[in-house]
Structure 1
Amino acid sequence: MCFYIASAQTDAFKFKRNIIGVNSAWHKLQLPNQLYKNANSGFDDLRIFGVDGKDTLEVPYLLKQRADKVISKEVDFKPVNESANSNGFFYTFQLNSASTINQINLAFKEGNFNWQITLEGSNTNTEWFTILKDYRILSIKNNDTDYQFTKLSFPDSKYLYYRLMIRSAEKPGLLEALINKTDTIKGTYQDVKYKTFRLNNDAVNKETVIDVTLENPVPLSNLSLNAQSDFDFYRSIKIEYATDSFKTDKGMQYNYASLYQGTLSSLEKPEYNFENTIASRLKITIQNNDNKPLRLGKLELKGNIYEIIARFDKPKLTYAIFYGNDKIKAPSYEIEKFESKIPENLTSLTIGEEQKNSTYTTKIEKPLFENKVWLWALMAVIIALLGWFSFKMLKN
């Protein structure tokens, strides 16, 4: 279905970029980083137009971001043995069939514990093979902290029996064990370089604040932080991005919105995923409480790439992508309902440099009193009213 617009609607957009290489009906194109600065944050204003004489053809498209896709399948099992000796407490699980697994999630009655565990696998329930050794699980619950790390992650294993040994002086209150096979379909990311990295250890508020600025607004969805200490640690961490700025006597100030809130721990990889967000400035806050600040080193940022899949019904036309319109609503195209019919192997197109749209126009409404006729008419009415009130006063 083609979209023809009688009077070329391209004049409503401030910017354009030529699209090069259209030679078939279906293509894909990656949005360049420089586009995000002038496009709307939700991409409602993105349009692709082709010129056909005096008419303008609007191209239907889908906007995609290739994030990681996690698929987790729960594996059925039954507990078959529970025992203890001087080494600790043992829990044995039998799978309904020998299936590949790589994750076990545990839940305990206790709110506070710090245990070392060993996980073994066997197909005979007699000869055991070590999967995890001296693996630490932890739970801390008090007025300031509610943190748990009870997920066992390990390489793909395929056994019929699994035995969990917990080193504890008292019997653990194991409430639940969930056995899973988790796979991650990797998304498409690009590394993001930052312009400045400013770290401040605030002794008054007992926190470390890192301000990060980027060259331009770009998509961000992943942050990795190199945090080190001579001892194990767990700290609250908050990641925010600047939504706008304003000038004050103390310089530029920023309003922030949350991207991620959680825990920075020596037990887990300090890598955080959040919804893909266009940002140019970040603030990372680590709550130290009464602890010594961590040694913070390399910071890595990544973002999901935005990609357009478009259908060009007339490949021979000249096409361009337009943006820069704060008042327009997001488009609604039928191809969204028939995505399964889009070919898989699509040729990539090249998007040219940003140009100011030469046809862009804005309607400027002149003030009413700029018109001299209206001004003289108003003065005549005022003089007539003053004369009438004066005559009444003299008559009385």
Structure 2
Amino acid sequence: MKLKLEIKLLLPLLVCVLITKAQTNSYQFKRQITGVNTTWHSVKLPDDMYQKINLGFEDLRIFGINGKDTIEIPYLLKQRANQVSLAEIPFKQLNQSAIGGIYYYTFQLAETNAINQISLDFKQENFDWKVNLEGSNDNQNWFNILKDYRILSIKNNETDYQFTKLSFPNSKYQFYRIAIKSNTQPKLTATKTTKVDTIKGIYEEVKYQTYELKNDAKKKETVIEVGLKNAVPVSYLKLNAQSDFDFYRPIKIEYATDSIKTEKGIEYSFATLYEGTINSLEASEFNFKNTITSKLKITINNNDNRPLRLSGLIIKGNSYDLIARFDDLKATYALYYGNETVQSPNYEIEKFERKIPANLTSVTINEEQKNPFYTVKTEKPLFENKIWLWCLMGVIIALLGFFSFKMLKN
């Protein structure tokens, strides 16, 4: 009687364990989630977790357990990058004039809107000019916006580069006047006025462990290899580059995708993150797609010039957050990952994102644990099965006997 009672008590617990195991046994790792006290929370992914999850985050799951019930929690994956919007402001050119080597171009906006960027296109291909920009509301009293702003164009067999975009703080005038100092008349072919709005994202500085710089005189290039502590998201790099003269050089930023251990050490395979130029006109800052990696490689083509003086760099990445809806506040929750075969989840909350509260509190993600229910189905090779081996040997012996008997009979 006592045994039957114990079995009845243990049966629901056993069923609960089996149900939980059935849903989570394909995930290698788990992290307990604590601090769930309302329906909506944000979940920040820890840095040391990125190297064990799939590149596309397909294997991220949140499961909750309450008694014998196991529920899957829907979430949205958010990358906190900069959000940039461009609005072109219509205008018309009023006049063009020249006084003593200074060429003036006056424009009027259709409406008095704030702008912070003017893009210029010229027919000339090689020039180096200084530009002044002024604003006015009555076309008589002018106020300085930019002074001695440098614009440049270089085109030859090795280089095709233009820097003809005027960037300045938000300005709200009806009239704008551009003054270009030049020995020859600039041939302005197109102008575009723009209002650029940027919603700042959340960037986290990434500390690097190794920094190795090599100037290769034979290849005429400078190569920097940077090793990070963990595989983490990277989307921004700033180089501290200096030279006694103006410079303009091709640059390529790559990230390690794989590594092979050889007799000479570890060799890495790289893929391109960014290709462009590093020059003395613009800040040596480079933005690219948020990418998870543990190693970066920066290559600067010096051509026949002296290498730049490079004194360190700054690396940043956009953090990833999960916005999750916890339907049962009494359940115990955990974050599961480490499944190479699972597909991305399809949750309907992404269609109702506007209804999610704006200010969310974060929950705590605990240390990584191995999932005790994780099981991998491994099928043994055919020839490791003893039955198949005996059958194969029997067939071979039978064939040998048959052909031997046939030969003796003949």
Matches within 5 A, 1:32-43: 32-43=46-57
Out of 200-209 and 96-105, give the one that drifted further.
Answer: 96-105
User: Which of 310, 322, 344 is residue 330 of structure 1 equivalent to?
Assistant: 344
Give the partner amino acid of 2:227. Answer: T
Distance 2:387 2:288 in 1: 60
**Residue 379 of structure 1: SS of its match in structure 2?**
helix
Q: CA deviation at 1:314?
A: 1.2
Q: Deviations over 1:226-264 (max 9, x none)?
A: 111111111111100000011233221111011111111
Contact 1:8–1:55 (CA under 8 A) maintained in structure 2: no
Structure 1 match to 2:319: 305
Structure 2 match to 1:117: 131
Distance 2:145 2:20 in 1: 68
**Residue 159 of structure 1: SS of its match in structure 2?**
coil
Structure 1 match to 2:3: none
Higher strand share: 1
Distance 2:211 2:388 in 1: 59
What is the root-mean-square deviation in Å for CA atoms of aligned residues? Answer: 1.3
Higher helix share: 2
Distance 2:127 2:282 in 1: 17
Q: CA deviation at 1:111?
A: 1.2
Contact 1:120–1:128 (CA under 8 A) maintained in structure 2: yes
**Residue 245 of structure 2: SS of its match in structure 1?**
coil
- The runs of at least 4 aligned residues of structure 1 exceeding 4 Å deviation read none
Structure 2 match to 1:368: 382
Out of 120-129 and 220-229, give the one that drifted further.
Answer: 120-129
Q: CA deviation at 1:92?
A: 0.3
Q: Deviations over 1:66-93 (max 9, x none)?
A: 1001112111111001000104111000
Task: Kindly indicate whether residue 195 of structure 2 is the aligned counterpart of residue 181 of structure 1.
Answer: yes
Structure 2 match to 1:144: 158
Q: CA deviation at 1:20?
A: 0.6
Q: CA deviation at 1:56?
A: 2.4
Matches within 5 A, 1:338-349: 338-349=352-363
Structure 2 match to 1:192: 206
Distance 1:335 1:260 in 2: 34
Distance 2:85 2:391 in 1: 75
Q: CA deviation at 1:383?
A: 1.7
Structure 2 match to 1:394: 408
Contact 1:39–1:46 (CA under 8 A) maintained in structure 2: yes
Q: CA deviation at 1:267?
A: 0.6
Task: Kindly indicate whether residue 276 of structure 2 is the aligned counterpart of residue 262 of structure 1.
Answer: yes
- Alignment: residue pair count: 392
Give the partner amino acid of 2:201. Answer: G
Task: Kindly indicate whether residue 88 of structure 2 is the aligned counterpart of residue 88 of structure 1.
Answer: no
Q: CA deviation at 1:344?
A: 1.5
Matches within 5 A, 1:64-83: 64-83=78-97
Identical residues among aligned pairs (%): 64
Out of 374-383 and 277-286, give the one that drifted further.
Answer: 374-383
Give the partner amino acid of 1:337. Answer: K
Q: CA deviation at 1:6?
A: 7.5
**Residue 349 of structure 2: SS of its match in structure 1?**
helix
Give the partner amino acid of 1:372. Answer: K
Q: Deviations over 1:33-82 (max 9, x none)?
A: 01112111111111111123344211111100010011121111110010
Distance 2:263 2:387 in 1: 46
Give the partner amino acid of 2:261. Answer: K
Contact 2:252–2:274 (CA under 8 A) maintained in structure 1: yes
Contact 1:7–1:55 (CA under 8 A) maintained in structure 2: no
Distance 2:118 2:294 in 1: 38
**Residue 195 of structure 1: SS of its match in structure 2?**
strand
Give the partner amino acid of 1:45. Answer: D
Q: CA deviation at 1:211?
A: 0.5
**Residue 148 of structure 2: SS of its match in structure 1?**
strand
* TM-score using structure 2 length: 0.93
Matches within 5 A, 1:242-321: 242-321=256-335
Structure 1 match to 2:10: none
Contact 2:101–2:183 (CA under 8 A) maintained in structure 1: no
Contact 2:63–2:336 (CA under 8 A) maintained in structure 1: yes
Q: Deviations over 1:84-134 (max 9, x none)?
A: 010411100011222211110111111111111111111121221111111
**Residue 67 of structure 1: SS of its match in structure 2?**
coil
* TM-score using structure 1 length: 0.96
Distance 2:21 2:50 in 1: 27
Q: CA deviation at 1:272?
A: 0.7
User: Which of 167, 178, 191 is residue 153 of structure 1 equivalent to?
Assistant: 167
**Residue 171 of structure 1: SS of its match in structure 2?**
coil
Q: CA deviation at 1:391?
A: 1.4
Distance 1:353 1:230 in 2: 50
Give the partner amino acid of 2:167. Answer: S
